[in-house]
Structure 1
């Protein structure tokens, strides 16, 4: 994944009032930390950052242009307003070229399992370790034609070169089971109905 350039400004005011003023000016309050350095309080352009998250996901590597220099950062936490759905705050993690980082990547199931099966996805993300500048956007699990009774564990997921699994290899990612028949569904409904009172 390539770096995404983003202009950032230093923030000198803190607290809720200052954060509100930052957001009113079209920017998002953010904190950059890591590598034992003091946290840096920043303001990111709201529209550009929202576009980066939409197009590249939260694992995008940001090249922050700040005070005449640049810093590489990974999005750690994005806090969104629960009702109005705008980004309230962002935590960024300082990274260096060649550094390995641990991230959560989405698991995408590809294809259709065998007929008369039901697929249950138990994990929507798995944790992996990869080079900070070569992070996978997602991992794919092929389930085309997979028969009932198949279980796919984290250790079965094919990872890109240079990426290693952090999630427990025994963790269940997806299960393919036999779909219930119409008769079974009817039987379950009949059991759920209260018996008539014969007294």
Structure 2
């Protein structure tokens, strides 16, 4: 599990104007919450935070936060829709040994049987995992699967220590039959032969 140290500063000014000033200074406004504590407002260095967030489910170790609650998980990241810069981040305080709910990527490996077409229905699934051992993702092998085959979330082999939080019946992968060129031509011919509705 990736852990990144990052410097945090308490935030004393609030509102849109204060947030804009912070962003102009290269800082990102953030809120720290969890474990029954009152939300705390801080700012984080924008460049360091942007680099850290390139890792999915990264743990941040905050320097400069009072009370010792300095291990956090980014839960909500707001970006500017046009320029893509970070506008605001919600951070969840976590403790070693505590389980948290996170989304992890599903990576498909292998080739389906000839005549089958792979459809990936879910690219992420939700799991419960220990805060300091969050898996990067889960792989699903589709080698040799034929048309009509399905893999649901409950069929996935999760990394050790992770529990499935997504509905186990949710489809992750389906294999459809490949359309032949004759089928496509036949349908087009039927449509052309049908009289136009008046």
Q: TM-score range by the shorter chain?
A: over 0.9
Three-state SS of the structure 1 residue aligned to 2:182 is helix
Three-state SS of the structure 1 residue aligned to 2:119 is strand
1:46-65 aligned within 5 A: 46-54=46-54, 56-57=55-56, 59-65=57-63
Go from structure 1 to structure 2 and tell me whether the alpha carbon gap of 1:16 and 1:130 turns closer, same or farther (over 3 Å shift). same
Matched, 1:66 2:64: yes
Asked if 1 retains the 8 angstrom alpha-carbon contact of 2:33 and 2:91, the reply is: yes
Go from structure 1 to structure 2 and tell me whether the alpha carbon gap of 1:168 and 1:64 turns closer, same or farther (over 3 Å shift). same
State the aligned residue count: 196
Three-state SS of the structure 1 residue aligned to 2:53 is helix
Go from structure 1 to structure 2 and tell me whether the alpha carbon gap of 1:108 and 1:192 turns closer, same or farther (over 3 Å shift). farther
Go from structure 1 to structure 2 and tell me whether the alpha carbon gap of 1:96 and 1:195 turns closer, same or farther (over 3 Å shift). same
Matched, 1:182 2:181: yes
CA distance in structure 2 between the aligned counterparts of 1:47 and 1:26, rounded to whole angstroms: 7
Go from structure 1 to structure 2 and tell me whether the alpha carbon gap of 1:168 and 1:70 turns closer, same or farther (over 3 Å shift). closer
Asked if 1 retains the 8 angstrom alpha-carbon contact of 2:115 and 2:146, the reply is: no
1:138-157 aligned within 5 A: 138-157=137-156
Structure 2: runs of 5+ lacking an equivalent: none
Structure 1: runs of 5+ lacking an equivalent: none
Regions of 4+ moved over 6 Å: none
| Cα displacement (A) at 1:91 | 0.5
Asked if 1 retains the 8 angstrom alpha-carbon contact of 2:116 and 2:147, the reply is: yes
CA distance in structure 2 between the aligned counterparts of 1:147 and 1:23, rounded to whole angstroms: 52
TM-score w.r.t. length of structure 2: 0.92
CA distance in structure 1 between the aligned counterparts of 2:96 and 2:185, rounded to whole angstroms: 59
CA distance in structure 2 between the aligned counterparts of 1:196 and 1:148, rounded to whole angstroms: 34
Three-state SS of the structure 2 residue aligned to 1:49 is helix
Go from structure 1 to structure 2 and tell me whether the alpha carbon gap of 1:133 and 1:67 turns closer, same or farther (over 3 Å shift). closer
Go from structure 1 to structure 2 and tell me whether the alpha carbon gap of 1:93 and 1:67 turns closer, same or farther (over 3 Å shift). closer
Go from structure 1 to structure 2 and tell me whether the alpha carbon gap of 1:127 and 1:67 turns closer, same or farther (over 3 Å shift). closer
Asked if 2 retains the 8 angstrom alpha-carbon contact of 1:73 and 1:95, the reply is: yes
Asked if 2 retains the 8 angstrom alpha-carbon contact of 1:63 and 1:70, the reply is: no
| Cα displacement (A) at 1:187 | 2.4
CA distance in structure 2 between the aligned counterparts of 1:6 and 1:159, rounded to whole angstroms: 30
